[in-house]
Structure 1
Amino acid sequence: MIKKGEEALEKFSTTAYPKAINQVAKGIYHVTGYGHSNAIVIEGERSLILIDTLDSNERAKKMMTAMRKYTDKPVKTIIFTHGHPDHRGGSGAFKETVTEIIAFSNKQPVLKHTALLADVFEVRGKRQFGYALNDEEALLQGIGIREGKAVNDGKYDFLAPTEVLTADQTERVIDGIHLTLVAAPGETGDTGFIWLKEQGILCCGDNYYGCWPNLSAIRGGQYRDVAEWVDSLDKIMSYDAEIVLPGHTKALIGKAQVTEVLGNFRNAINEVLLQTLQGMNEGKAVDEVVACVQLPAHLQHLPYLGEYYGTIEWTVKAIYYAYLGWYDGNPTNLHRLNSKAYAHKMLALIGSKEKVYQEIEQALASGTYQWALELSDLLIQVEDKKGDLSKIAALRKQAPLETSANSRHYYLAYANDLEKN
């Protein structure tokens, strides 16, 4: 959080994913800004290979209309870098021409019965991505323009894979193009990258993009193994690419930029992991670890490590609970009072609700919005409607301080939901 977080987020969005079709080598195009995610078009002898398909059917169609400036060949092959819907949502636009759809197998199996959480994931995902916000409220989705389904520009239209790769590495020649497909779990367990050796180009999916990655999604979900993500970045760097094409934000062009940026990106993530584990091993509680973990000075202000999507704090918390579980070692927390009982006792100790009202007003006036939120929750637990109103005000004050689009969306969407109830 910074004083002008919203301003920093807007500035990032104006440069990170311009609407463009960039020909990065003969017959290879990196498409940015046409959807929330990127796509890569590879021209074969008689057809096109499409790596990812944008987030909606309409946007995929618009992309291909623009591509006709360069080629009129049909899309016959689709390769998904991973299973997130913003990378697969446009695939249905190619159902008349596509003959094979390749995906990577999931190296991190989904927990049994996860489907029973569909409703809560729906609510929290909607808030994280700002789907119910208007354009003025949402601005963008952090690492790309708003998804088509959020702005009436098409819908998810999925085609199922015809082949799921289970090997760690697969060599293929498709319409005269030699590709190496390599499993590289990171943001998802089914992530992989595509290496074009002859051109020195690597398509990395979402294991790298130009800001702090979503190492832990606030919508919820299984732990994204940060150590394995670092291993996958090491694997990517071992290919000595001249050009790296990410699934969001702009390409890395030239061996020097690839080496520097990917190296710093990998080292920053690894540093947070190791510092977190060290703090945990010293017996620190999670909030104490959050307070002491920071990037080395030479990494702190790099533009491609800005917290416009994920944050270091969320990363630390995810690592902490993944390795040690929910218990922080303090016996007070083994059987804490439930939140309602705690609120009643705290209000009795404070003496009156009026004192809480006054403290909330002072917190809102002084800019200590987190304190206002916590005090509002005391009132909400004792079913005082003033708690809802003060929480709405604090959420809307807090949102402009956020550089992360995800947290900004969540504050605003939650405030809107509270106001409706």
Structure 2
Amino acid sequence: MAAGAAVCGCSADGASGGSGSSAAGSALGNLTADPKPATEATRDANDAVYALLDFSDEREREFASRGLIAAPDALEIADDAGKVVWSQKAYAFLDGADGQPADAPDTANPSLWRNAQLNHLFGLFEVADGIYQVRGYDMTNITFVRGETGWIVFDPLMSCECSRAAFALVTEHLGERPITGIVMSHPHVDHYGGIKGIVSEEDVAAHSIPLIVPSGFAEHAVAENVYAGNAMGRRAGYQYGTFLEPGPQGKLSIGIGMGQSTGTVSYIAPNDLITATGETREVDGVLMEFQMTPGTEAPAEMNTWFPQFKALWVAENCTATLHNLYTLRGAEVRDGNAWANYLMETLARYGDLAEVTFQAHNWPHWGAEFIREYLMNTAAMYKFIADQTLMYLNQGLTSNEIAHLIQLPSALERSWYTRQYYGTVAHNAKAVYQKYMGWYDANPVHLNALPPQEFAQKLSAYLGDASAVLTKAQADFDDGQYQWVAEVTNLLVFADPSNQPARLLCADALEQLGYAAESGPWRNAYLTGAKELRGGVDADPRFRATGSADILRAMTPDMMLDYLGVLLDANAAADLDLVVNLAFTDDDPYALTVRAGVVLYERGVQYADADATLTLPRLGMFAILKNDQEAQAANIRIEGDQDILEKLTEHLVDFDFFFPIVEP
């Protein structure tokens, strides 16, 4: 039998479409593409959460609601074209009657449901006299610190439309004041993308507004949003539930907010770098002391201490949840040990002084005694995961084995602010393993494993009749073995994507896993996978943020040339060898060498025997990167080989954003 030949293909309602499908249909029952209710096994799993956690402890809810000054009755933000880029209105199902929170349905982990209700609290809040936050207007909080004449803003959200709306709320209730400074705690787009909603580049230049960031901010912002931006953006749709509708059977909180806004992303180059812990800045009469925390939640990150307010900004290092050492959208692995040690340094420097901690996600925490416990327990959580993963890997356990074995101590597990709403112990343990050991588990069978589709086709041929496999999988589904069912049916999907019963049963299994997940990103990933198995990939552009050229304009020639290497298919261009002088009119000259399809470059060098010399402005490089021939003609003067641009751009790849994930 040929590989995959026995895998049947059926229509969406389970009707016959291939060999053996009648037997499969009778055993599998009525598989449909419709969302399903929670099964008994899922209801039992969610009921067990009530026994684990103390739902009568409302301290986090009190913190989340404290200090509310004003909020609109309903919140929905649209861009200039009318596209809704952010909505709290869509989460009205979280509201109960008579001001009481709605009870969790069977289709939601009650702990995540509770977190969603807290993140659904939106509006303008007072953190301390002179410090205010607008929360629930984007994935991130935007913070306004009152100076002598204006506002110092921390982390101006992801989308310009959202930050503009937040600033309008502040102005309406606290009076009109200019922006006199901006601090961006780290280079993730939800912490800087909305900057042009509150200031323009002209404002920054005309009024000498400091844009304060940790050293390395610009380099890492580009690396995340350009080099790997296409793949990260697609995967972020799974992590943040961009393709899902909010609802009891759909999208809830992601643990650090309600999700990702899809408005206009902007960027303004920072003009003030913090390089060392203890550095201070006084902006508009407000003194700030910075603590560098690189390698924690971002490669470049910093906390901020406000001595006159006795207030501690902990960026995204302490956010009332277990965060990610590895984020599902893809990013550099974070250092759990360093994260813990930096929080202990925070405790040593400011723990006896701080009366409130506040940050870029979730809500503040008040009280000196509570803050010490909060910082220490959060540090202990990351240190436990880092240390225990190392303990297990030194005993020869693999990444996957450790992930299924490691569990937080009870004293940490039962705390509401260390719950796994965003990151999880399991995938964070895998991150620690990856940091120290890499992808290889030392089993030589895995050194050069078959690609997923080929493996699936081979194994499917060994398993035999796919309908028999599906019948067994249905029995395991009925027994509540959803992870196994998802794995085996997804293997059949990779062997033959047209196998509709496998797609639908895999979707049903993923759906039940999503209903029981406490982590918002895990729920989103499971439910998005189920949605795409049932209906295919939805390439509607409304699921993407509105891109901005700002981050691209900030790229240096080195960054642009590195990105050229990413875009060039070196295997297709294996016979391409050339040398090009780049005579930038507004930057240093560069020599570009392509050797066997590989892009190399030297700064400050020009070759007399180059194939061609290109005279162009720095931003003229985008005419090459985008293979825009009209822009090339307008911006680039060629001396030498007149066909050089055609040779250079012939094998550039145009990335497809909506690439498949749960099928080949």
Q: Which residue of 1 aligns with 2:234?
A: 123
Per the alignment, residue 154 of structure 2 pairs with: 51
8 A Cα contact 1:95 1:159, kept in partner: no
| CA separation of 1:108 and 1:276: change in aligned 2, threshold 3 A | farther
Confirm or deny: 8 A CA contact 1:21 1:30 kept in the other structure: yes
Give the equivalent residue in structure 1 for 2:540.
Answer: none
Determine which of 177, 187, 207 is the counterpart of 1:73: 177
User: How many angstroms does 1:7 deviate by?
Assistant: 3.2
How do 1:13-412 and structure 2 match up within 5 A? 13-16=116-119, 18-68=121-171, 69-96=173-200, 97-98=203-204, 99-106=209-216, 115-136=226-247, 137-149=250-262, 154-185=263-294, 186-238=296-348, 239-240=350-351, 241-383=354-496, 385-386=499-500, 387-412=502-527
Give 1:84's aligned amino acid. Answer: H
Partners of 2:218 and 2:130 lie apart in 1 by: 34
- Give a deviation string over 1:92-121, Cα, whole Å, max 9, x none: 122255522111122897599874533222
2:536 aligns with 420
Quick one: distance in 2 between partners of 1:337 and 1:73? 61
Contact 1:58-1:155 at 8 Å conserved across structures: yes
Cα 1:145–1:16, aligned 2, differ >3 Å: closer, same or farther? closer
Is the Cα contact below 8 Å between 2:278 and 2:289 reproduced in 1? yes
CA shift in 2, pair 1:118/1:31, >3 Å: closer
Residues 66, 195 of structure 1: CA spacing in aligned structure 2 closer, same or farther, 3 A cutoff?
same
The alpha-carbon distance between structure 1 residues 340 and 16, as it changes in their structure 2 partners (threshold 3 A), is closer
Is the contact made by 1:191 and 1:205 (CA closer than 8 Å) also made in structure 2?
A: yes
- Are 2:187 and 2:221, in contact at CA under 8 Å, matched by a contact in 1? no
CA contact (8 A) 2:244 2:251 kept: yes
Instruction: Check conservation: 2:186, 2:217, Cα contact below 8 A.
Output: no
Moved more, 241-250 or 286-295: 286-295
1:16 Cα deviation (Å)? 4.6
Q: Identify if the C-alpha distance between structure 1 residues 271 and 162 changes in structure 2 by more than 3 Å, giving closer, same or farther.
A: same
CA contact 2:304–2:312 (8 Å) conserved in 1? yes
Task: Give the CA RMSD over aligned residues.
Answer: 2.4
SS of the equivalent of 1:179 reads: strand
Name the counterpart of 2:606. none
Distance 1:76 1:113, change over 3 A: closer
Q: Counterparts of 1:184 and 1:192 in 2: how far apart (Å)?
A: 5
The answer (yes or no) to whether the contact 1:56–1:147 under 8 Å persists in 2 is no
Q: Which runs of 5+ in 2 are unaligned?
A: 1-41, 47-107, 538-664
Output the CA distance in 2 between the equivalents of 1:147 and 1:337. Answer: 35
C-alpha distance in structure 2 between counterparts of 1:90 and 1:111, whole Å: 14
Q: 1:122 to 1:111 in 2, by over 3 A?
A: closer
Q: Is the 8 A contact 2:119 2:136 kept in 1?
A: no
Q: Partner letter of residue 45 of structure 2?
A: K
Take 1:113 and 1:84, find their aligned partners in 2: how far apart are those partners?
Answer: 10
The alpha-carbon distance between structure 1 residues 16 and 210, as it changes in their structure 2 partners (threshold 3 A), is farther
Deviates more, 1:306-315 or 1:284-293: 284-293
Q: Does structure 2 retain, via aligned residues, the 8 Å contact 1:17–1:249? A: no
Whole-angstrom CA distance in 2 between matches of 1:325 and 1:111: 24
Measure, in 1, the Cα distance between the counterparts of 2:283 and 2:219.
29
Does the CA contact (< 8 Å) of 2:186 and 2:298 recur in 1? yes
- Pair 1:415–1:259, CA change in 2 (3 A): same
Paired with 1:198 and 1:348, the residues of 2 have a C-alpha distance of 70
Contact 2:325 2:432 in 1 (8 A): no
What amino acid is aligned across from residue 420 of structure 1 in structure 2? G
Distance 2:337 2:217 in 1: 14
| SS of match in other structure, 1:287 | helix
**Corresponding letter in the other structure for 1:14:** Q
Alpha-carbon shift at residue 304 of structure 1 (Å): 0.6
Is the 8 Å Cα contact of residues 16 and 210 (structure 1) preserved in structure 2?
Answer: no
Normalising by structure 1, we get a TM-score of: 0.91
With 328-337 and 359-368 compared, the bigger mean Cα shift is at 328-337
Greater helix proportion: 1
Distance 1:367 1:112 in 2: 44
Answer yes or no: is the 8 Å Cα contact 2:254–2:519 preserved in 1.
no
Preserved contact between residue 141 and residue 405 of structure 1 (Cα < 8 Å): yes
Asked if the contact 1:17–1:250 (Cα under 8 Å) also holds between the matched residues in 2, the reply is: no
Task: Write the deviation string for residues 135-168 of structure 1: whole angstroms up to 9, x where unpaired.
Answer: 232233321123331xxxx432333322232334
- Describe the superposition over 1:293-325 as per-residue Cα deviations: whole angstroms up to 9, x where unpaired: 221121111101111111000100011121011
Amino-acid identity (%):
27
Gaps of 5+ in 1: none
Q: Which moved more, 1:173-182 or 1:345-354?
A: 345-354
User: Per-residue displacement from partner, 1:282-301 (whole Å, max 9, x unpaired)?
Assistant: 11122221233221121111
Number of equivalenced pairs:
417
